[in-house]
Structures are given as structure tokens and as C-alpha cells.
Structure 1
Amino acid sequence: MTASSSAAPAIPDDDPTRTLTVANPDDPATIHISLAGDNYAMLITGKQTNGQYCLIDMRVPDGGGPPPHRHDFEEMFTILEGEVEFTFRGEKRSVRAGSTVNIPANAPHNFRNVSGVPARMLCMCTPAAQDEYFMRVGDEVASKDAPPPRLTDDEMAKRRQRAAELAPAYRTEML
């Protein structure tokens, strides 16, 4: 295709109101969320990308990970440290540091750290909103190394209920 026979719309002008984002999980301004025992650093939020995507630094202790679920958006994980077991449409697959996993929209999945040591991965969701969901259902903690809050059984039940109630608004279904 040549430039003169373009059927595609022109590339929009630059938006000077948008700024360069540099994210670091050690930056004191980074928001850290404790969710189901995991620690998620909101590196790049949907607010910073006009909703295009979000990037979350996930620290997952041994035994950590979400319950089975599915959502109407793409999700990609790059394993930085450790090993994580992904269950995709009922089939389990162990993935080690250095690998990237893409979960197609709407596919049932979950992950679990069964390695015996902490794992760390980057999670990118496109379009964004998972970052907002996590911030609404999790508990903010001081840093990437902060322990999860000690919750009573009643508080844990309320968190699960809030996650289930908010899931549809964030195009997510708990399975």
C-alpha cells in the first residue's frame, strides 16, 4: 500500500497534554495493593494511558494467585522471577522466569505460585481497568515488601463479596 492509496485514517496529531511516564515499583508514589495475599504495584494506570492499557508488577508468594475467572480483555504476563502455574481452559502449564504468557479475552484461567518460593511477574491488560478493579477490591499497603493486612474471617468475606459485586462492572466473571 502506498501513501497515496491510503484507506486508513490519518494518524492523529500528538496530544501534548499527555506526558512521558516512568514507572518504578520502588518509587514512593507507586500504589501497592494487597489482594488475596499477593502484592500488586500499579506501575502504569489506565488514567496515564487514556484507558489503552495498564501495567501491574505482581509479587506472588508461594501458594498465591487468584481464583478461576475470565474477563473481556486481553491479559499478558511476563515472568520475571520464579515459576508460576497457569491454568488455561482447564489445562495446567508451568511457566518459568523469562517467558511471557498471553491470555485471550474471555478464556477461563487463573494462576498459582506452586514453586515453593516467591514469584514476580508483570501483567499488562488491554484495555485498562484491571488496575481500577484491584484498587477497589484490595487493600493499599505501604510498599512492595509490606505484609498483607491481617484480616478477620468477616473482613475476608466482605472483600470476596465486594470483588464479586464489582466484577461485572470491570468485565470480569468469577468462575
Structure 2
Amino acid sequence: MIRSPHDASSPALPIPADDPSRTLTVADPDAPDAHHVAVAGGLYTILVSGAQTDGRYCLVDMLVPDGGGPPAHRHDFEEMFTLLEGELEFTFRGRSLTVRAGSTVNVPANAPHAFRNVSGSVARMLCMCTPAGQDEFFMAVGDPVESRNSAPPAPTPQERAEKGRLIEALLPRYRTEMAKA
């Protein structure tokens, strides 16, 4: 069992000195310098990247279209979702449950899971991954778009096949396994 550093049985360690090379991050999904990417029909905005947190975590604002969501997958990092708008069906280790706006879902590392938007409209959620890396994966496999209000691109069958090959090639690097469609 992994213990919190605040556990009473853990020895007290000194707090490291402040690292002035790290700066305060204020994230605005509509800021001109925000990174927006279309992934599997959804629009994701990287609010806080791993580069900004020294690799500790990343935070992604996700707009998921009705019926959208990833196939079953698992990865070697923690993933937490806070649903801001809409309704999602989460499948965790083969069991499904409906999650509504206001709820937070934590997916333990290595556990198989998926989600699907069942709202009838776009769902919005924040996704935090720790450690970071999923932000890099989304940027590598997604299509950059102008803003979070942009229409996702409509790839040709050939472009979809190429994207599928790219995703398949990058999954091991990002310690992820995805179920075959």
C-alpha cells in the first residue's frame, strides 16, 4: 500500500526550498495562447501541461460530443474527471454507471475503463492525469484547431487510417493499452 507523505507513520521530511524557476500558471480555455486539439471527435484544451508542473500532472478541458468517448483502454497513470456539464456513462472494469454534472470520477492506474457521452448534447469535463503525459499524447495524435469552439476536422478514410496507425505506434510510449474496435 502506498502511503501519503502526510501519514502519521511516515517520518517527517523537510519541505524542499522554493524553486523560483517554476512560475504561477493561470489557465483560461479561451486565451489566445491556449492549445486546442481535436481528438476522436471531441475538442480538448490543454489548460495546464506537464511542462508547467514539472511532470507532476496535466489538466485538460474536454468537450465531448453526444455519443462520443474513447474505446475501452487502460494506462499506467491516475486519471480524474470532474464533469461540469452533461451526463456520461463510465464503464470501469466492465461495470457501467451514469455520472452527472457535478460529479468527480477517479480512475486508478492500470484499471480498464471507458466513457461515453449520453447527454444528448456536448458534455464538458476537466481531466487531470498524474503524472503528466496524456497532454503530450493528445497533442501528438490530435489535430490542432483554432479555438475550443472550432468544428472538429472531418478526416477522410485514409486520414483516419493514418491516425489509427499513429495512435497504435504511440500507445506503448504513453504506457497505454487500447481495446481493438
TM, length-normalised to structure 1: 0.95
Give a deviation string over 1:29-83, Cα, whole Å, max 9, x none.
Answer: 1100101100000000000000000000000010111111000000000000011
1:127 correspondence with 2:131: yes
Going by fraction, where is helix more abundant, 1 or 2? 1
CA distance in 1, matches of 2:68, 2:148: 15
Partner in structure 2 of residue 153 of structure 1: 157
SS at match of 1:168: coil
Structure 2 distance, partners of 1:140, 1:8, is: 45
Counterpart residue identity of residue 46, structure 1: G
Within 5 Å, which residues of 2 pair with 1:74-153? 74-153=78-157
In structure 1, the partner of 2:64 is: 60
- CA apart distance, 1:8: 3.5
Deviations along 1:133-166, one digit per CA (max 9) or x if unpaired, are 0000010000011011121001011111111110
For 1:115 and 1:98, the matched residues in 2 are separated by 14
1:28 and 2:25 matched: no
| Cα distance in 2, alignment partners of residues 157 and 8 from structure 1 | 53
User: Out of 155, 161, 166, which is 1:162 matched to?
Assistant: 166
Query: 2:5 — aligned with what?
Result: none
Q: CA shift at 1:9, angstroms?
A: 2.8
The alignment of Structure 1 onto Structure 2 pairs a total of residues equal to: 170
Identity of aligned residues (%): 65
SS at match of 2:172: helix
Question: What is the alpha-carbon root mean square deviation over aligned residues?
Answer: 0.9
After superposition, give the CA deviation of every residue in 1:75-122 in whole Å (9 maximum; x if it has no partner).
Answer: 000000011111111111110000000000000001110221110000
Distance 1:84 1:160 in 2: 24
Measured in 1, the distance between the counterparts of 2:154 and 2:119 equals 24
Unaligned runs of at least 5 residues, structure 1: 1-5
Letter of the structure 1 residue corresponding to residue 47 of structure 2: L
CA distance in 2, matches of 1:96, 1:48: 30
Report what 1:37 is aligned to: 41
Distance 1:174 1:82 in 2: 25
Q: Which residue of 1 aligns with 2:13?
A: 9
Q: Following the alignment from structure 1 to structure 2, what is the Cα–Cα distance between the partners of residues 7 and 121? A: 37
Unaligned 5+ segments in structure 2 are 1-9
